[in-house]
Amino acid sequence: MAERSIRAAFAGSGFAARFHYDALLRLHSVRPVITGAWSPTAENLERFTGQRGIRAFKNINEMIESADVIHVCTPPSSHEPLVVEALQKDRHVIVEKPFTGYFGDGTDSFSGDRFAREKGLEYALHSISRMIEAERKSRGRIMYAENWVYAPSIIKEREMLEKTGAQILWMHGEESHSGSHSPTYGIWKYSGGGSMIGKGCHPLSAALYLKQAEGKIRDGNPIRPAAISARTHAVTRMKGYRNEGHLRSGYTDIEDFAQMHVIFGDGTFADIFASELVLGGVHNWIEVNTSNHRTICNISPNNAMQTYTPDEKHFKDVYIVEKTETKQGWSSVSPDESWFTGYQHEMEAFYRTAVFGDPLESDSRLAADVIATIYAGYLSAERKGAEVSITLI
């Protein structure tokens, strides 16, 4: 264990803050001192900090001043101001996905169902530019907390690209499950969209990352996305939807299904699905078809461990896998979810960058490309799938 000390603090005290915190406890090359957390929900904050014996900050400034690395684990609508504020104070920022977006015009009548997607795209691109400009002026870095980039199966695929010199011809991937737990998810003004941004950003980031890597390996030039055709649907809000209570419903103004066909600068492509309409737990995978190998990365579920019980009462105290509806019968267990999803690997990598200056894989450029692609996707979906060019920043 290195003795170099670095201080960490959290914005947010919900689900993401918990898994960030847990991942910090498992770092092996750096030992961060956790100074505390701030979030606007006093009750959550007390619970999060009280259970961990860390300080509950009364305001953001105190929290940012207290640390060298700020973890932004709050709803997407708050990412830009928090990231910019931390960068202005020369802090490193680990920001959760999605990086940023368009969150409405601030009026009570705003609805994610009705605004002009061109306006959303334009605003999202400006938001990205402001964040990247703040990073340029800062001694801190933006570390884009896209765990798929650090999932062991994606890291292994990157190694295979490097050692085989393969060209990725096409990819398909998905992130789906039965619906987010977060109370702000489903309300566009907080989440910046539905399945396409909230879930699709994960496999999309992996696809963009691997294509960037292919180009860098070949001649130092990342291959980046050029155009997108996309469709979205709001199935749980359809009049005829048959609600049997297994899927989360009640979304205010977002889509619950998205399909993206992304074309890269070299003419190859990726097909990404994302939805809130899948039973059986988190369904996270990407298949990579290359000129010399074909890889299927099963992030969740995978068959590392399988178990059977005739009655789920036996497993009442046993964690099986994220978002499974039942533990009865056969289950694919994730014996170490943080490991398979890349949560602990991303934190190890980020803190190595912060302390030792190691190169950063999941950076603001990747984050920017993901958001530029998704909001071009929303414009395409408004045009019923017509191809839209992606503006790269």
Ligand X SMILES: NC(=O)c1ccc[n+]([C@@H]2O[C@H](COP(=O)([O-])OP(=O)(O)OC[C@H]3O[C@@H](n4cnc5c(N)ncnc54)[C@H](O)[C@@H]3O)[C@@H](O)[C@H]2O)c1
> In the complex, which residues of this chain contact ligand X (CB under 6 A)?
12-16, 39-41, 44, 73-76, 78, 96-97, 147, 182-184
Q: How far apart are CA 311 and CA 326, in angstroms?
A: 10
- Rounded to whole angstroms, the Cα distance separating 373 from 197 reads 10
Select 156 or 181, whichever has its Cβ closest to ligand X: 181
The per-residue DSSP string of 118-130 comes to HHHHHHHHHHHHH
Partnered with residue 273 across adjacent β-strands are 174, 259
Alpha carbon distance 193, 179 (integer Å): 14
When the beta carbons of 147 and 353 are compared against ligand X, the nearer one is: 147
144 vs 264, beta carbon nearer ligand X: 144
Q: In this structure, what token pair is assigned to residue 380? A: 């395409």
The CA–CA distances, whole Å, from 253 to 13, 42, 145, 237, 256 equal 25, 27, 26, 9, 10
Residue 182 C-beta: closest distance to ligand X, Å = 4
Looking at beta carbons only, is 96 or 157 nearer to ligand X?
A: 96
Let me know if 237 is exposed, middle or buried by CB neighbors in 10 A (0-12, 13-18, 19+). Answer: middle
Nearest approach, Cβ of 87 to ligand X (angstroms)? 17
Take residue 42 and report the two structure tokens written for it.
């006093």
Question: Which structure tokens are listed for 62?
Answer: 């105190």
Q: How crowded is residue 357: how many other Cβ atoms within 10 Å of its Cβ? A: 9
Tokens of 271: 């097909």
CB of 262 to ligand X, least distance (A): 20
Least distance CB 355 / ligand X (angstroms): 22
Structure tokens at 93: 């920022």
The least CB distance from residue 249 to ligand X, in Å, is 18
**160 with 166: CB under 8 angstroms?**
yes
Sign of CA dihedral 50, 52, 53, 58: negative
Please report the DSSP string for 310-366 in residue order.
S-GGGGTT---STT-S--SEEEEE-TTHHHHHTHHHHHHHHHHHHHH----SS-HHH
Task: Classify burial at 294, counting beta carbons within 10 Å of its beta carbon; exposed 0-12, middle 13-18, buried 19 or more.
Answer: exposed
Using the minimum distance from each CB to ligand X, give the nearer residue, 147 or 290.
147
CB of 23 to ligand X, least distance (A): 11
Structure tokens that stand for 334 in this block: 């994730």
State the alpha helices, DSSP H only, in the chain.
15-25, 42-52, 60-65, 79-88, 117-137, 147-150, 152-164, 188-191, 195-198, 201-219, 337-341, 343-356, 364-382
How near is the Cβ of 286 to ligand X at its closest, in Å? 15
Task: Return the number of the residue (147 or 324) whose C-beta is nearest ligand X.
Answer: 147
Nearer to ligand X, 39 or 290 (CB): 39
Residue 200 CB, nearest approach to ligand X (Å): 12
The distance of closest approach from Cβ of residue 362 to ligand X in the complex, given in angstroms and rounded to an integer, is: 11
Which residue has its beta carbon closest to ligand X?
A: 14
**CB 38 → ligand X: shortest distance, Å?**
8
- Among residues 40 and 50, whose Cβ is nearest to ligand X? 40
